[in-house]
Amino acid sequence: MISIVVLGAGNVGTHLCKAINNAENLNLVQWYNRSKSNNSTENTATEKCYNLDNLASADVYIIAVSDNAIEQLSNDFPFKNQLVVHTSGSISMRFLNAKNRRGVFYPLQTFSKTAAMDFKNVPICIESTDKNDRNTLKQIAEALNSPTYFINSEQRQALHLTAVFVNNFTNQLYRIAHELTDEKSLDFEILKPLILETAKKVQYLSPYVAQTGPAKRRDTKTIKTHLKNLESYPDYKELYEQLTKSIQKTHG
């Protein structure tokens, strides 16, 4: 059984702890959070820790904190020669202090504390300089029933960039659509079947083939009408124009 300490009580740390707690062959021995005021750690019976000097002994220490806190936290560890990994998509493994064995355990998924997450739908991207450590991380991912990929830092950063496009930027477009429907007293619910169908199409079609709409058709009349309707939203009008140009360039 692999013993694990998770550090961080944000979205990723919370879901990791829940999943590890429920997995066979994994033992969540401790959950570290620098603040006692965070209630997330109260959701499990796992031992809580608020001081790095009191960290328990474990096979793996998983750092699941904000990117700008990873380096300092790894510097502050009171031990050496242990396997320490972070969960960031954009931070290089070298930002972990070299006094410990280093690795990456990056879950490529969007997490919200209030939304349930099945780790069967969470690809885990693994990076390590040591073969034995890599196998340990693979065993953890397999115990979580997660698809596993061995990638290097450059590939992981490229994945993180593409994830921003397909997740964060897409969600911002949903938010804009929500604002525009509210403005005309329309229910955003009416768009949800379209959102789902668009996501389903790229499961069996390439995004290139799946593309539809006035930009691809070069329907200038419809495009002009849309731009006119966006006159009172100059930022959204500019975004519409840029995306239209991008689609037309792709399907020129």
CATH 1.10.1040.20 positions along the chain are 156-250
- Bridge partner residues of 102 (DSSP): 84
When pLDDT is averaged across residues 24-44 and rounded to a whole number, the result is: 78
Q: Where in the chain is the domain with CATH 3.40.50.720?
A: 2-151
Residue 42 confidence class, pLDDT cut points 50, 70, 90 = low
- Report the distance separating Cα 48 and Cα 44, nearest Å: 9
Q: What percent of the chain shows pLDDT beyond 90?
A: 90
Based on the number of CB atoms within 10 Å of its own CB, is 81 exposed (0-12), middle (13-18) or buried (19 or more)? exposed
pLDDT tens track for 216-235: 999 999 999 999 999 999 99
Are the beta carbons of 163 and 108 closer than 8 angstroms? yes
CATH superfamily of 156-250: ProC-like, C-terminal domain (1.10.1040.20)
The CATH number of the domain covering residues in 2-151: 3.40.50.720
Mean pLDDT computed over every residue of the chain: 94
Q: At what angle do helices 170-183 and 234-250 cross, to 10 degrees?
A: 130
